[in-house]
Structure 1
């Protein structure tokens, strides 16, 4: 098509009465959603320091698009809600990178609060509940304010379509808070509830809630069992939960091997702990330290096999 014809087509598309502005907003929302899904996938394969810039830039773009979105009627409203929905997820991703990968609690808190605001604008109570759940994780385990935020998250989730996955994740959040307060038995009961809810979730699973998985619950359960002194159970849980993972799921495997290293160290089996620590490092080398596992390997660096591997993988450190 010639430039003149193309210009004419664009002009016709934006003529009064044709809904051209609505179409432009709908296309912008669709493009923004596509990029958000791409960033969601990159969360599991990209170093936090590399990903946080593109994610925050994307969030800024979404905020600007949302501020410009205008018009009345159902189509304009749908475009705004779609933009706000994707923006809420983008800010959730930013917060998770800041919290888990960069250990930036202040930045994470701001991102999660912004995610809640965008979810409200999108009319998506499940995304809002997810943002509140993350804020509850940020609070001290003994802080009543954190419990209040979690209660608010549960109430908000109840306003959305029934979803076992969101319920499971909020149970996992409460379990992690209970474990942080030393309430291991309560934490294990909550994890059991989460496993039941997740198993019953079926097709109601939310695509964006890709961090709440059976393997993720397995890591949490194994670590709580270890904290409770149930080392044999912790070992079985971690090995069983890791079995379904694909070989290239390096980020998750690094967490499991770190947990197994901790189990063997607690049992006084330093050689086995060293072996699992080395495997964790190998998976970090394969995918990058996307989940912040590397710092937790410090207790094993006195073992020569780990120290040598660590030096080979990260010679600049």
Structure 2
């Protein structure tokens, strides 16, 4: 609600703390940043003026911490702030590296209510996180069309609870909410092939991670946002987002697996943008990082990567580099080592093996691998896996008259497969 006299609560707190001018408060906040481990905050007098305006924007987590420290550990409500979750933060409220054109909050976003909160028990965050963890495990086997609405509704619940919690419970809730929104974005991008919806959902995930001040989770979300321009061939934007993801990772305690995964994500983007040689260099670095190991463990929510997944990235990159024999060797090893519940990844690997066979003009073998991929997709649907099969079929155009290619068409366009694809 607009305040005709501006944010008088913040003005009063500033003067009471001994900062007679807005510039004095800005200087104090900037000086506090390094002492609090927040780095260079770069707060301007214009920023302070906006906080003391009729419609003060909700400060980001690192600004909140500095404000509380400088102004005597007052709560944000006592400083005159109310969260306005329904809008994207203004540029001055966003840390450097987050203004990456990720997207704007649109109709698909989950409106988060405002309020001073604080009337949920502390156990609510742990209970919410428990369900988030269950969704994490269910993701690998449950159909995405069934999983997505459930995760979205869980995220809606988390956003509503944000206005009803304070203190450590609010931070823990924000962290679980960020993970849940990240999962929703992953389903939208990889399983349902809706990059526009995914880009919006990733913004919401990043906002929640900022509220929790979880830089490693923020890094993971930013890396996922790089897939969107990377798969669209927008190399500069993908590279910028990966630089941001690496910057956030440096602020946390990344494991060797996490750092190797960042290499793998960048390699995937480079491959999609037509630079497989650069991608192979990144893959080699990732292998070295994994072999060397590290002192930190991977976070519990990072269940999508390991040596086998890195090898699958490598096989696809070798394939795009025209190294068909090496790709086949790598992908066969991955296929043998995939766990039983990795149905989605298995469909991708089978599709890549089909593509490698096409590259070597082994047409019957390509059709056989593509048929196996379709069989896996009938059990565990994965849009990314289906994209692989479609690409293989397109590359088989010169051999349309062969019986094995006709049989592949029959498998792709049978009643069950066609109706299922249209439903999805």
**Greater C-alpha Rg:** 2
The SS at the match of 1:145 is: helix
The SS at the match of 1:212 is: coil
What TM-score comes out, normalization by structure 2 length? 0.64
Report what 1:314 is aligned to.
Answer: 417
* Distance verdict in 2 for CA 1:165–1:32, change over 3 Å: same
Q: Which has the higher helix share?
A: 1
| Structure 1: distance between partners of 2:386 and 2:234 | 27
Report what 1:304 is aligned to.
Answer: 406
- Equivalenced residue count is 290
CA shift digits 1:264-286 (9 cap, x unpaired): 01111111111111111222222
Residue pair 2:318, 2:324 contacting (<8 A) in 1 also: yes
Report what 2:200 is aligned to.
Answer: 110
- Greater Cα shift, 86-95 or 185-194: 185-194
What TM-score comes out, normalization by structure 1 length? 0.84
Report what 2:376 is aligned to.
Answer: 283
Which structure is higher in RCO with an 8 Å CA cutoff and minimum separation 6?
Answer: 1
| Structure 2: distance between partners of 1:96 and 1:137 | 10
**Where does 1:131-150 land on structure 2 (aligned, <5 Å)?**
131-140=221-230, 141-150=233-242
Q: Give the counterpart of 2:278 among 186, 189, 213.
A: 186
Residue pair 2:254, 2:296 contacting (<8 A) in 1 also: no
CA shift digits 1:71-94 (9 cap, x unpaired): xxxxxx221111111100001001
**Where does 1:159-308 land on structure 2 (aligned, <5 Å)?**
159-199=251-291, 200-201=293-294, 204-286=297-379, 288-298=380-390, 299-300=392-393, 303-308=405-410
Report what 1:34 is aligned to.
Answer: 130
Residue pair 1:251, 1:291 contacting (<8 A) in 2 also: no
| Structure 1: distance between partners of 2:308 and 2:207 | 30
Computed over aligned residues only, the root mean square deviation of the Cα atoms, in angstroms, reads 2.2
| Structure 2: distance between partners of 1:23 and 1:241 | 50
Unaligned runs of 5+ in 2: 1-116, 395-399
Report what 2:190 is aligned to.
Answer: 100
